[in-house]
Chain A
Amino acid sequence: MSVSDILESMEYGPAPESAAEALAWLDANSRRFGHFINGTMTEAADTFETRNPADGSVLAEISQGTDADVRAAVAAARAAQPAWAGLSGHARARHLYALARLCQKHARLLAVLETLDTGKPIRESRDIDIPLVQRHFYYHAGMAQLMATQLPERSPLGVCAQVIPWNFPLLMLAWKVAPALAAGNTVVLKPAEYTPLTALFFAEICTQAGLPAGTVNIVTGDGATGAALVDAEVDKVAFTGSTEVGRRIREATAGRDIPLTLELGGKSPYIVFEDADLDSAVEGLVDAIWFNGGQVCCAGSRLLVQEGIADAFHAKLRTRMASLRIGDPLDKCIDVGAIVDPVQHARIAAMVAANTAGETFVAPCPLPDTGCFYPPTLIAGLAPADPLMQEEIFGPVLVSGTFRTPDEAIALANNTRYGLAASVWSENINTALDIAPRLEAGVIWVNGTNMFDAAAGFGGVRESGFGREGGWEGMYAYTKGPSTAPAPALAEGIASTPDSIDRTAKMYVGGKQARPDSGHSIAISGAGSQLLGHVGAGSRKDIRNAVEAAGKAAGWSASTAHLRAQILYYMAENLAARGAEMTARLAALGVAAPEAELEDALDALFSAAAWADKLDGAAKPVPLRGTAIAMNAPVGTIGIICPDGAPLAAPIRAMAAALAMGNRVVLVPSPSAPLAMTDFYQVLETSDVPAGVVNIVTGPAASLADTLADHLGLDALWCFGQSALSEAVERRAAGNLKRSWIAPQPPADMRETLRHATTVKTVWIPWGA
């Protein structure tokens, strides 16, 4: 085409990035790769192909990791871990710094390799993925440096199994590897089957950085390799990927007493108010749903527009869609690249084809004749009841609906099983800052989308998973605190004076004492089988009622920290007033040091009250004009299974911490000594605790724990001192991916409990007058 022809058309023309260096690297490895185990590459074996989705060409042969490969990698990591953890923080920081520098030195090759393997536009891998990779290693070099002084009570977990997805291969590697290494862990990482190449290049970087052999191990393969890794003798599992696989990993790790972090799917709302800068909100959608072809867990895939501006907004959006450019991902002038694999393409196409609702608009953009491309698509006018408003598509398909008021926007936005991210667009600071924290999501962007930084935690709630990556909060996912001793066992009780009038301990549900639904009671005995009283035999229905009551007490989560502290202090006041009665009861129930236990309970109430208004969030120094606020939000409704021992102090320590952070609880007291907590009803009733905030169900711990773990409306389940139940609790928790916490009893240092009682919500607030 001549210059004068172009002067007429004013087309952009091709602007390809060269793949020569990346292909030369593949050639230098004969386009065949083994695994990176104990510092060396193994011989390639049992290989499968990894392809460039943009043209279908085979890039390399990759080895399918076997159980033996996984075992060898875990053994290498195990052997390397003590020495790695034994290095000074400064020495580990130097290694992480070297990794950061090397990622920077090889930035262009890594970007091109990523684009070849994933099909994402070179602009994204070059300007977003790889710079964030570098940033993550730099940031965590700092974490290694500071860990000894800033997290003195934390220690590494050991060997971490890490399974990562295909949408951000090297970035997810960095998110997993950097904090693990910083904390003194060693890792075995399995990259996604479709996209292993940058991880294999990273193996070379580890060698160049002089990382000790076995510190980082990379085993390639498909889901079977991942499953073998999850099943291996590891001390931690971290997974980013689909909710379906996350659920299986939750089940596979149940009862193994290893921490798990899951970063899963989403259907993130993108809310546009009538006073928003509509053009900017439209442009934001380009980065929300067409970034990486919508193959992004936190993609703003569910547009909610205020009704009065919906037509105008959609008109602008359709116009904008028409100028998107789809094509060769290596072209520097492309907005949307290829879908990662034909399998994913077929899945997207099938979901869109199955939809019969709304109005479908396909961007009138030319697609390449060959390769795995899907056009940007808008399906407008959907209702929450339409499947595509609920199901994650994981492709360049945006769905939309409307709302009328701020409250309705929140109701619609939160009407989802997921809770990863959300965007809210409004020029009114009151609107934006009111809506943002009320969204059920781990990350909320005000007037923006898809902003990431190593200093800001990332992760979800609900079925989007749990755990955070990035920031101080991310370091807790790769470290552990001191171990907690079990609650002291109950001894033979001391004979006590029987109640002069028969007392009936019932359930405590919704602020009232309620008879057990079963109509049965359980006898509780003390010294020499002395009958101390009866408690209700709680059943499924009682748990149902209790969780429902807790759900209705949402006002507690919105109450002020000062008010929560006041009520906790008031509980302490009223418990102390009943001190003599309570210590007598504890003695009768077999508590060896009843006065000390009472003191312990009072101390816990004071600690929780003290913490209620002191667990500060943070303003993260993220690289933009603005801030990212990390807020400690309540988890929601927490189930608490109590240990047999410490029948007063253990439940109160857990309950008080949960309440202080704004949670509501459903508590199953000590199976042997529940009367300590049924006596506590009178403290609850006289301490201004709102109805439904604390609910107590007595009865058989195992079946009540099962019901709680199965309950899809419960947000977290803590299981203390009942190790026989832990496997079932964690396996069943997979249903709604509720957070679980297994421990001998709530630790004396309340901070650990407070972390389990909160979820970090990161609200990004760019500003500019």
Chain B
Amino acid sequence: MSDIQTPAPTAPAVASTQTAQLPQLGHIRNPGMALDMDWVLGAQANRSAIERRCATLPGRRSVKKAHQAAWLLKALSCIDLTTLAGDDTDGRVARLCAKARSPLRADLAQALGAEGLTVGAVCVYHDMIAPAKAALAGTSLPVAAVSTGFPAGLSPLHLRIREIEESVAAGADEIDIVISRRHVLTGNWQALYDEMAAFRAACGQAHVKAILATGELGTLRNVARASLVCMMAGADFIKTSTGKEPVNATLPVTLVMLRAIRDYADRTGHQVGYKPAGGISAAKDALVYLMLLKEELGRRWLEPDLFRFGASSLLGDIERQLEHHVTGAYSATWRHATS
């Protein structure tokens, strides 16, 4: 049973006023729906077949030359540039935000016709929202805050909800919540739904990403089911991981989540975003994620309102590859500004 007081299970997850278009969205926000247990329990995920699809994709799709440069710019624009460390300070966050505003060296941006390109968002802990907002003043870059007792999500529920409210009050545009893995592991889908719906309600106008912590869910079938439940409860994005689990974003988990998003869009008409986080640090890996996204969900999802990379070191590799594209010579880390 659920341990929280939230709307009745059959009621829409959020009020109609919240279906309005958010500033950072190019589409109608997912309003959620009643928990549909037949759908949830009918979800299947064949691990071997999913792994085969993922293993062969890099051999089936390839982008070269100008196309590769463009795809790397796309990857860059979808990065949630992230710092989630115990030793974060205002200064550290300010440096990160400076990099988020100008992720590419000016000459490279100019050569690529990508002046003004920024990353997707900056992602920090609650206490770093204010310095991040200050550092990003004058830009449209959203600030995302991880919340709800990130990364384990085991603090008292009322405090987790309160944390969301505080972060929204502090100016966070996006809230990355963590789900209670125990609800998935024990098959308590109603509890997961109720929890997610409560978080979504607490977010108000802020955009909510549900972190499934897929590395702790045990099976791909659980990932598929948890994805569906969170979307039904009104998640704007579903996200793989906190970056703190032993296994974070993987292609098989991505494929399962993308297929859940596609099913949800097919049945409800609502587009939910996807964010892989943790472990994606090579530009060529980022390209494979984009390819998988394009293959499974189509061109529309290749925009920051429906796709983000939760990453920090990925940006550096993308910069080096782009310099190689512009100059023809392989690059080095120190030629690009750090964050």
Contact = CB atoms under 8 A, between A and B. Distances in A.
Interface of A: 1-7, 9-15, 123, 126-127, 275-281, 283-284, 315, 323, 332-333, 335, 425, 427, 447-448, 624-626, 766-769
Given A283-B49, A323-B295, A13 B65 contact: yes
A427 B46 CA distance: 7
B219 A769 contact: yes
A13 B64 contact: yes
Contact of B70 (A3, A281, A283, A766): A3
Given A1-B66, A123-B59, A768-B47, 6 more contacts: A4-B70, A13-B63, A123-B60, A280-B49, A333-B63, A447-B49
A599 B249 CA distance: 70
Contact of B48 (A2, A276, A766): A766
B61 A333 contact: yes
B63 A15 contact: yes
A483 B69 CA distance: 69
A123 B73 CA distance: 26
Contacts of A769: 47, 219
Interface stretch (B50-58, B86-94, B141-149, B234-242): B50-58
Nearest to B298: A323
Given A1-B66, A333-B60, A10 B50 contact: no
B47 A2 contact: no
12 contacts: A2-B66, A3-B73, A6-B67, A10-B71, A13-B64, A13-B67, A123-B60, A276-B46, A315-B266, A333-B62, A425-B46, A766-B49
Contacts of B112: 3-4
Interface SS of chain A: loop
B26 to A, nearest CB: 14
A6 B68 CA distance: 9
A448 B52 contact: yes
A13 B51 contact: no
A289 to B, nearest CB: 16
Contact of A4 (B46, B48, B114): B114
A284 B67 contact: no
Most buried by B among A2, A276, A283: A283
A312 to B, nearest CB: 9
B299 interface: yes
| A-B interface, 5 closest residue pairs, ranked by CB to CB distance from nearest | A768-B47, A13-B67, A6-B70, A280-B49, A766-B48
Contact of A10 (B47, B48, B299): B299
Interface residues of B, number: 36
Interface of B: 44-53, 56, 59-67, 69-71, 73-74, 112-114, 219, 259, 266, 294-295, 298-299, 302
A702 to B, nearest CB: 54
A717 to B, nearest CB: 40
Contact of A11 (B44, B48, B52, B67): B67
B67 A12 contact: yes
B64 A767 contact: no
Contacts of A279: 259
Nearest to A332: B62
B48 A767 contact: yes
A123 B56 CA distance: 9
Contacts of A280: 45-46, 49-50, 53
B65 A4 contact: no
B66 A3 contact: yes
A3 B46 contact: no
A127 B113 CA distance: 36
B260 to A, nearest CB: 9
A3 B69 contact: yes
Contact of A447 (B48, B67, B74, B299): B48
Contacts of A427: 44, 46
B206 to A, nearest CB: 28
B46 A12 contact: no
Given A4-B114, A275-B44, A768 B51 contact: yes
B70 A624 contact: no
Contacts of A277: 44-46, 49-50
Contacts of A766: 48-49, 52
B113 A768 contact: no
Nearest to A274: B42
A278 B43 CA distance: 9
Given A13-B64, A333-B62, A4 B51 contact: no
Contacts of A7: 70, 73-74, 114
Nearest to A13: B67
A275 B266 CA distance: 19
A651 to B, nearest CB: 48
Most buried by B among A4, A277, A323, A447: A277
A768 B71 CA distance: 33
Contacts of B114: 3-4, 7
Given A7-B74, A12-B67, A769-B219, A2 B60 contact: no
A556 to B, nearest CB: 35
Contacts of B52: 448, 766
Nearest to B73: A7
Nearest to A765: B48
A5 B113 CA distance: 10
B289 to A, nearest CB: 13
Nearest to B258: A279
Nearest to A322: B298
B294 A10 contact: yes
Contacts of B259: 279
Contacts of B48: 447-448, 624-626, 766-768
Given A3-B73, A333-B62, A278 B44 contact: yes
A530 B112 CA distance: 106
Contacts of B65: 13
B44 A276 contact: yes
B141 to A, nearest CB: 18
Contacts of A126: 59
Contacts of A14: 64
Most buried by A among B44, B114, B302: B44
B49 A12 contact: no
Nearest to A279: B259
Nearest to B55: A127
Contacts of A12: 61-63, 67
A14 B76 CA distance: 22
A5 B114 CA distance: 11
Contacts of B73: 3, 7
A537 to B, nearest CB: 59
Nearest to A767: B48
Contacts of B294: 10
Contacts of B299: 9-10
A2 B114 CA distance: 11
A281 B53 CA distance: 11
A40 to B, nearest CB: 38
A640 B236 CA distance: 71
Contacts of A5: 70
A2 B60 CA distance: 24
B49 A13 contact: no
Nearest to B218: A769
A500 B66 CA distance: 101
Nearest to B52: A448
A127 to B, nearest CB: 5
B312 to A, nearest CB: 23
Contacts of A275: 44
Given A283-B53, A625-B48, A626-B48, A15 B64 contact: yes
Contacts of B53: 280, 283
Nearest to B68: A13
Contacts of B61: 12, 332-333
